[in-house]
Chain A
Amino acid sequence: MVKLLSSVLAVVLLAGCASQPQTLYSEMGGEAKVTEIVNNFVTEVEQEPVILAYFEGSDIDRFIAKFEEQICMVSGGGCQYTGDTMEQVHGGMNISEKDFNLTVDLLINAMDKANVPHPLQNRLLNKLAPMRSQMLYR
């Protein structure tokens, strides 16, 4: 059984390394797709009062531009993020785990509605996930 498990694991790990010829950014569909994801995300936020409250008084056009830049950067699109640090942006918001996770669900909805394939969604989430600790309870 251990042998079976390890061979399953080996196949699984090999598949993971198989092929990554282009950047996640270009696989997703580049600038147009990132813009679509971010626009969908803003629409999702507008329909979710709990999360919308966090955006009160913020410059939504600036948010869109900076979030696009950030997604472009973490997905290997070659952009430079020029916005404030995650700590600065989320300072004073005291974001809970619950609301953070709700926001992740909204981002997943936004990617679903932009027809981003499931594996690419996960890879983008993986790039964004390390920022969570810079956003929670600030």
Chain B
Amino acid sequence: MTLFQRVLLVIAFTAALPVSAGSGKLIGTAGLNQLEGAGGGGIVPWATLSGYDSDSEVSVNAFLTRVNLDDYRLQVAGASVSLYDRVEVSVARQTFDLTTLGGDISQNIYGAKVRLWGDVVYSAMPQISAGVQFKDLQDEAIANALGSADTSGTDYYVSATKVHLGAVAGYNLVWNLTARMTNANQMGLLGFGQTSDDDYEVMLEGSVGVLLNRNVAVGAEYRQKPDNLGLGEEDWWDVFVTYIPSKSFNVTLAWAELGSIAGAPDQNGIYLSLGGQLW
């Protein structure tokens, strides 16, 4: 059994634990699963864990995300388990289709996150979490051809997230700030580091959103990126609207501007994500 299958199995077995399914958070405050599988926004991991579990519950989440760009298409399928609103384990499979050039690149990402302090809604200070994402490229040829040092790598991040009840003319405001240590090129899809320099750098990522009611959130995100390969890799950003009709389903539509990717400039497009809590 591959590592990918093992992690999926662990997540599936969580639903069989003799504890109740997660329901103990206000709707809309559990967040989503981001592109690498962690609980978060769309492109940024947050301090929130991906489910509605409180300290006596567990939750299992799954998601499918697609980003259609001018010359590429990114598809992500993933799942995560959140235990007692304390620990999150996630797995994601990214498939990056080179729609103009032909071919595709797959990458598996295994994530873990621990909530260190606070409650995103109820503590006066933000909720703080720390996480890791281990990334394992399945198709190594392009990463090697572009001069990456490695075909697997690990990101480390710390996030702070806060919901301010009624802060914007009575509407709830959510913000997140993440610092990530990484040497990944385009999240790792183009490898890690560069042959003469595989040093880590700290990148800043942020999100801000407003909940228009209990079921709809709008906002924007930003993600700073390194340019290890000298291909003009650019920072990412998006604007999004998320509809959360229930604690078991969410859908997000976004406009993503991902800049230059592997020499192809201005990669912009529609981001669509379906997610939800299975247990």
**Interface residue ranges, A against B (CB under 8 Å):** 1-2, 4-5, 8-9, 12-13, 15-16, 18, 96-98, 100-102, 104-105, 108, 117-120, 122-126, 129-130, 132-133
Contacts and interface: CB of A to CB of B under 8 A. Distances in A.
Contacts of A98: 20, 23-24, 54-57
Nearest to B212: A118
A126 B171 CA distance: 11
A97 B169 contact: no
B254 to A, nearest CB: 14
A114 B164 CA distance: 23
Contact of B222 (A2, A13, A96): A2
B169 A16 contact: yes
Contacts of B172: 122
Contact of A15 (B20, B169, B220): B169
B24 A102 contact: yes
Nearest to A6: B208
Which applies to chain A's interface (DSSP): helix, strand, loop or mixed?
Answer: helix
B4 interface: no
Contacts of B24: 96-98, 100-102
A96 B26 CA distance: 15
A118 B170 contact: yes
Interface of B: 20, 23-26, 54-57, 85, 121-122, 124, 164-173, 175, 206, 208, 210, 213-214, 220, 222, 235, 237
A100 B26 CA distance: 11
B268 to A, nearest CB: 13
Contact of B56 (A96, A125, A133): A96
A125 B164 CA distance: 10
A77 to B, nearest CB: 17
Given A8-B220, A96-B54, A118-B214, 12 more contacts: A1-B237, A2-B222, A4-B220, A5-B220, A8-B208, A15-B168, A101-B23, A101-B25, A104-B26, A118-B213, A122-B170, A126-B164
B76 to A, nearest CB: 22
A120 B129 CA distance: 31
Nearest to B223: A1
B54 A12 contact: no
B23 A102 contact: yes
A5 B122 contact: no
Given A96-B54, A98-B23, A101-B54, A9 B208 contact: yes
Q: Find the residue from B55, B170, B175 having the highest chain A CB count within 10 A.
A: B170
Given A5-B206, A123-B165, A96 B171 contact: no
A129 B124 CA distance: 10
Contacts of B173: 12, 16
Nearest to B238: A1
Contacts of B206: 5
B224 to A, nearest CB: 9
A18 B168 CA distance: 9
Contacts of B168: 12-13, 15-16
